[in-house]
Structure 1
Amino acid sequence: MRNYILFFILIACLKSGISYSQDVNVKIGIKDSLQSKILNENRQLVVSLPIDYDVSNDTYPVLFLLDGTENNLIDARLVTYNLRLKIIIVAISNTDRDRDMMPISRPSYQVENPKADNFISFLESELVPYIDKKYRTNSQKTIRGRSLSGLFVMYAFLSKPELFDNYIGNCAGWFADMNTYFNKLADKSFQNNNNFKGKKLFVANSLADPLDPNKEIHQSIVDLSKRIEHELCDRIKYEYMTYENAGHVPYSGFYDGMKFIFEKE
């Protein structure tokens, strides 16, 4: 009970900005930025370090947090706090979310200039090396997305499975008119299934998601799950979790995903 009380006190303090005194403030991270040649723009970051980072010589796993708003970073810190995880969190702010997260444009979700391929190149060639050079990271890297950025996580998993060790997609998947594109992507990617060896994928969707009234997104992951089971077999550790009565992007999906990724074998 005491842990839950402390947990909710921390939520209140972080989300309201309340401090215990005039001289003590809750610091959620360090502002950073990276000039991207690939994207031709400056990308704003907030990096949250483990509490013992400055007094240890340890290296830490990294969580790359898409849709890196202040609230999403606070949620990530609360999840890692509750799971007792020492992890570097890199929150990536959006500039053009539709452009960066979408690999294609379809009637179900129309995007003027989908460039997810550029964004994943930015992650691979610029951001990940930058974080590895500037901070004491270890080899374990996780990417987490929600809703549209959850779709990007699925795209990254299928197009660049070797880039991250762990993939978490909350309210992730695609509409039926995108099936052909993602099926072809899986066809090509699964031909070299050794690229998925040792990877972890966690996907969580709500069965009461108002943005998926016909359960097309849910069905896309059901179909992909069957392919993963038959074509990747035991190469990866995978779980698809659904929540019966939750709305869009239930908070528990993030917690359950991180628990799945970091639970001890």
Structure 2
Amino acid sequence: MKKNTLLRLLTLIIIFGIQFNFVLGQNLNEVKDSIYSDILKEQRSIRVFLPETYKPGTGEKYETIYLTDGEWAAGVFPFINNFARNEKFIPHVMLVALPNRYIEKANQRDRDLLPVHVADNTLSGGADKYLSFLKNELIPYINKTYPANGTNALYGHSYGGLFCMYALLTEPQLFESYLATDPSFWWNKDFVIRLASERLETLPPDKLLWIAGIESTYKGMGINRMDSVLKLKAPKSLKWKIGLFPNETHNSVRFKAIYDGLKFSYSGYPGTPPVYHPMNGILLKDKPAMIYIMNQYSDLRYSIDGTDPDDKSPKAGQKFTITGPAQLVLKSFSSSGKFDGVAKGIFELGDVLPSIPMPKKVSAGGLKYSYYEGSWDKLPDFKNLKPVSTGVTDSLFQINKLPSKTNFACLFEGYIEIVSDGYYLFALGSNDGSRLYLGNKLVIDNDGLKKEESMMSFLLPLQKGFYPLRIEYFQKDESFSFSLVYLIPNADNPTNIPAKFQYHK
């Protein structure tokens, strides 16, 4: 009894703890509203935080995160949410803070958040009615009144975290994600832990559960016992994780726990294809080549036979080797499955691209360029165009110093010297379209209008000698960019092709 009293006092610290409001950098539009509940027989205030990008009439809708203990959560959660959004870890979301009801200055949170009545807490036992209020009154009202897309998450701390777990087990269809920070799982002799043991296996698929606590009370709060039940009974489709934080208090853990919980819920956002190089290529028989992963991914896996990777496929890491032929498929897995990203590449078996002897009457120090003006949506046929000017891409040449910043095209021609045999990775980036020919072979086709720079790459087995080189490029608007780099054998980083290896007639 004494132990439970101390634990209950610990969970009540939040009521008397630090209650402050972080307003720096929130950039959220707050709307104070209220709704009368026929279920609870009382008026309930709510605080709705709309994304700063929201504009009425646009039709844009957002996922919604409901915050229990709203008068306190509203002072912390919006700040952390906005920070995570600014770092591009999560999408724009809408927050609905649910302040507790006070009757004659008495907080009714125990009434709303605790599932059953217990003798030592006269208010306890109204969680089912509170859940019914959320399900049948509040969520439909939010979906009708505000730009909600119908996908919801629930956050709670302490007793609120206990309520989150109870909601998952009794009304799992209400929310997609459940975020519980330092939840009071010990309450009523592990009531919710015992309930989890009975119901976890019956949960519908594709739910997310984040539980966070502090190391010093990991056992006392019952998180360790819930961990054991989850490991034993959680269905494979439930994506769950428990995070423990050292040197934190019951209140302070919210900052790190909310941040990590948001990142867990939206891991993989925005779901773009994995970025890797080379993207395609030609491989020699029994001669492996390295694939480089350009970004950080929490769970990136691959296959080389064209099949869709799964959780048993090998992890990619930051680099790995493949042998040809290979139909490479890379897949980044997100917690929710909504932000999985897939990229594919083809690596054919082939032969070394033959070089030629050093051409006659060529000079080192750059390629010949021809500059054209005109408006195109794709690369023009340069044979039918007359250049405005010509020159050499020597040390003084800068593409951003050309006469026009829009509606122009360039043709670069010459030779590249290869000083050693091996695999060479070429990467061509542009905004708008570009093409790369090497040895009269079209290596990279990056044509078309682009909203931003598009980088494409190709791997080739080359031999010592010279190769004809041709690059085509056009630009329509002012947001132009252009780059050509290569990675030579046994090098760690790509570089520009040195001018001493570029030749022109």
Establish whether TM, by shorter chain, passes 0.5: yes
**Which secondary structure state, in structure 2, belongs to the residue aligned with residue 47 of structure 1?**
strand
Which of 87, 100, 113 pairs up with 2:112? 100
Aligned length: 235
CA deviations 1:13-65 (Å, max 9, x no partner) are: x94779xxxxxxx8751011110000000000010101111154211000101
Does the alignment pair 1:128 with 2:139?
yes
Identity %: 28
Bigger CA radius of gyration: 2
CA–CA separation in structure 2 for the residues paired with 1:176 and 1:43: 26
| CA apart distance, 1:113 | 4.2
Does the alignment pair 1:190 with 2:200?
yes
The residue that corresponds to 1:4 in the other structure is none
**Which secondary structure state, in structure 2, belongs to the residue aligned with residue 35 of structure 1?**
strand
**Which secondary structure state, in structure 1, belongs to the residue aligned with residue 128 of structure 2?**
helix
When the two chains are superposed, the root-mean-square deviation of aligned CA atoms in Å is 2.5
- Map 1:151-170 onto structure 2 (within 5 A): 151-170=162-181
Letter in 2 for 1:40: K
Letter in 2 for 1:87: V
Give the 3 Å change call, closer, same or farther, for CA 16–254 of structure 1 in structure 2: closer
Q: Which portions of structure 1, spanning 4 or more consecutive aligned residues, are displaced by more than 6 angstroms?
A: none
The residue that corresponds to 1:244 in the other structure is 246
The residue that corresponds to 2:225 in the other structure is 223
Say which structure, 1 or 2, has more relative contact order (CA 8 Å, 6+ apart): 1
The residue that corresponds to 2:402 in the other structure is none
The residue that corresponds to 1:35 in the other structure is 36
**Which secondary structure state, in structure 1, belongs to the residue aligned with residue 249 of structure 2?**
coil
CA deviations 1:131-190 (Å, max 9, x no partner) are: 1111121232110011111111111112212211000001113226422x3244224423
**Which secondary structure state, in structure 1, belongs to the residue aligned with residue 234 of structure 2?**
helix
CA deviations 1:216-246 (Å, max 9, x no partner) are: 21xx322222322332232111011111211
Structure 2 unmatched ranges of 5 or more: 1-19, 86-90, 102-107, 269-333, 335-505
The residue that corresponds to 1:63 in the other structure is 65
Give the 3 Å change call, closer, same or farther, for CA 256–141 of structure 1 in structure 2: same
Give the 3 Å change call, closer, same or farther, for CA 202–16 of structure 1 in structure 2: closer
CA deviations 1:179-211 (Å, max 9, x no partner) are: 2x3244224423523x2x1000001111235xx
Give the TM-score normalised by structure 2: 0.44
CA–CA separation in structure 2 for the residues paired with 1:115 and 1:15: 29
Give the TM-score normalised by structure 1: 0.80
CA–CA separation in structure 2 for the residues paired with 1:252 and 1:48: 21
Does the alignment pair 1:234 with 2:236?
yes
Q: Is the 8 A contact 2:214 2:249 kept in 1?
A: yes
**Which secondary structure state, in structure 2, belongs to the residue aligned with residue 51 of structure 1?**
coil
CA–CA separation in structure 2 for the residues paired with 1:204 and 1:92: 21
The residue that corresponds to 1:257 in the other structure is 261
